[in-house]
Amino acid sequence: MRISKIYAAYKPVISFEIFPPRTEDRADIVSRLAADFRKLGPAFISVTYGAGGTTRDTTVEIASLLSGFGFTVMSHLTGVGHTVKEVDEVLARLHAAGVENILALRGDPPRETANVYTAGDFAYAVDLIRHLRSKGVFGIAAAAYPEGHIESPRIDLDWRHLKEKVDAGAEFLVTQLFFDNRVFYHFLESIRRMGIFCPVTAGILPVLNAGLLKRIVSLCGASVPAKVLGLLDRYADDPVSLEKAGIEYATAQVADLIANDVDGVHLYTLNRPEWVTQLLNNIGYKRREYLPASQAGLAR
Ligand code: FAD
């Protein structure tokens, strides 16, 4: 199903991100994940794509597996370093497996290339979006940065590039993680004023451990509010309590987003269904069957 049809019918749309496991038993791991996720009923599941195509085959494999299980799937796809031919091969395999949605990204050069990455036909995500649009068979999403993309010299400049992605064919946006909802609300108001009116789903990742938080924040540049730093201090020697507090913090974030009428929440599951289950239970989320707008009546 095209995900844009879900946003046209429901609010909030709850969706999950997973990554392809690196081990040989990845199909078994994802089958178990799928069984847990089925009980929670996400609108769709997205599958990450390793920088520069490093998980090309496993992303296609896992996205295809989930599609075969009956989930609505969105495959991430990064353009940087890829030729049109390579991208088309990936798209053909996804299409054959019934995957109808792509999160079109520029991506980052793999670390071993020392940040020099000039080969390929897609300099920016917008180039991949235009290519996907010309094919006409995929629903298209793009990434958005409530605090501005880490490389961008000015936030408003980044958001102008965001508008280019929407004008080129991105039907909805998935945000980078953030820990302060005020940042998201400010971003949303700003881009609406700039004429970006498509659905925007809020990317949420709880603080599950200090090391992971540092790694992710150093990559994406998201700011960490005093309240979260306080949790890291308080539970520096108690990882179990830190994780519990992190899930509570994320629960409060999601509850507040829903109270403020957000289009959707995309949970970065890290392939760990237990915290996702806990968070959705905490907010009293009721499993629902997401149908396309044409069949859903007045669900929204
Ligand atoms: P773009 O939109 O192309 O923007 C990149 C930078 O270039 C920005 O600073 C932008 O302002 C600037 N820019 C854009 N267009 C132009 C232009 N025409 N001229 C000049 N400057 C321009 N990475 C992965 O490798 N795999 C994943 O699966 C993955 N999933 C992600 C999911 C989400 C929800 C998010 C938010 C990010 C994800 N990323 C993933 C990370 C992403 O690849 C990086 O953040 C990357 O640096 C930028 O990708 P983009 O698609 O946002 O790029």
Catalytic positions, written as ranges: 17
Per-residue pLDDT, 111? 66
User: Which pLDDT tens digit goes with each residue over 261-286?
Assistant: 999 999 999 999 999 999 999 999 98
The residue-averaged pLDDT of 78-104 equals 96
User: Ligand 1 within 6 A of 140 CB?
Assistant: no
Q: Which residue among 45, 78, 106 has the greatest number of ligand 1 atoms within 8 angstroms of its CB, and so is best to mutate?
A: 106
Do the beta carbons of residue 176 and residue 147 sit within 8 Å? yes
Neighbours of 17 (CB within 10 A): 23
Token pair, residue 13, equals: 């749309």
Per-residue pLDDT, 112? 63
User: Which pLDDT tens digit goes with each residue over 152-167?
Assistant: 999 999 999 999 999 9
Token pair, residue 22, equals: 């690196």
200 band by pLDDT with thresholds 50, 70 and 90: very high
- Give the position, in ligand 1's atom list, of the atom nearest the Cα of 203: 34
Token pair, residue 242, equals: 């830190």
Query: How big is the chain by its Cα radius of gyration, in Å?
Result: 18
User: Ligand 1 within 6 A of 58 CB?
Assistant: no
The residue-averaged pLDDT of 229-240 equals 96
- Indicate the average pLDDT of the chain: 94
Q: What's the rounded Cα separation, in Å, for the pair 222 and 58?
A: 28
Do the beta carbons of residue 175 and residue 184 sit within 8 Å? yes
Helical H segments across 107-154, by residue range = 125-135
Give the DSSP H or E segment for 257.
Answer: helix 239-259
Which residue type occupies 159? W
User: Ligand 1 within 6 A of 99 CB?
Assistant: no
Q: Note the ipTM here.
A: 0.99
Q: What's the rounded Cα separation, in Å, for the pair 187 and 67?
A: 33
Q: Hey, what domains does the chain have and what are their CATH numbers? A: 3-285 (3.20.20.220)
Per-residue pLDDT, 53? 83
Per-residue pLDDT, 288? 86
In the block, residue with structure tokens 């909030």: 12
Percent pLDDT > 90 in the chain is 89
The Å distance, Cα 143 to ligand 1 centre, comes to: 6
The Å distance, Cα 106 to ligand 1 centre, comes to: 5
Helical H segments across the chain, by residue range = 3-7, 26-40, 56-68, 84-96, 125-135, 155-168, 181-193, 210-220, 226-234, 239-259, 273-282, 293-296
Q: What is the pTM of this model?
A: 0.96
User: Ligand 1 within 6 A of 90 CB?
Assistant: no
Beta bridge partners of 103: 76, 141
Per-residue pLDDT, 114? 52
- From atom 36 of ligand 1, which residue's Cα is the shortest distance away? 176
The Å distance, Cα 104 to ligand 1 centre, comes to: 9
Per-residue pLDDT, 115? 53
Q: What's the rounded Cα separation, in Å, for the pair 166 and 159?
A: 10
Q: What's the rounded Cα separation, in Å, for the pair 149 and 142?
A: 13
User: Which pLDDT tens digit goes with each residue over 95-121?
Assistant: 999 999 999 999 987 666 555 556 689
173 band by pLDDT with thresholds 50, 70 and 90: very high
Which residue type occupies 35? A
User: Ligand 1 within 6 A of 163 CB?
Assistant: no
User: Ligand 1 within 6 A of 151 CB?
Assistant: yes
